[in-house]
Amino acid sequence: METPAQTVTRLLQALEELSGTEHSLLGAGAYHDAHVIQERELPIVTKIAELLAQPNLLAQLSPETIARARQLIKAQTQQLDQLTRSMHETRAQIDAINAAEKRVKKLTPTYRQSSGDLPPSSSFAAQV
């Protein structure tokens, strides 16, 4: 039977693999697929957290396992920072599009009124 420390090490390896896949998907802009991977990661993270709540378990983990966990946390934090920046950039782009749309809606009635003053068959070429 597996000890809790061995279980944490095994789960950490699975989490590292999923995290690598998630990172690749996010880099490719496959946000939906990355979200699916995140949903698969959640029970693993939950189980690791439950196991680490056991007294003295952290002391039973190898220095290598602890270093791997720290590296994974660091990578996930960097990924979250990158996603947050991307989200802010996207929000700014959406706001700019919405502002442009509002300007177009304000101008549309003006252009409709001014084009109504011209005879229906007139064109720019015919006016010259």
Write out pLDDT tens, residues 64-74. 999 999 999 99
For residue 94, what are its two tokens?
């959406």
CA distance 9 to 34: 23
CA distance 18 to 50: 19
What is the per-residue pLDDT across 15-74, written as a single tens digit (0 to 9) for each? 999 999 999 999 898 989 999 999 999 999 999 999 999 999 999 999 999 999 999 999
Say if pTM beats, i.e. exceeds, 0.85.
Answer: no
Q: By the 8 A CB rule, do 4 and 54 touch?
A: yes
pLDDT score of 108: 77
Distances in Å between the alpha carbon of 50 and those of 8, 44, 63, 87, 116? 10, 10, 20, 31, 72
For the chain, give the mean pLDDT: 87
Residue 2's identity, in one-letter code, is E
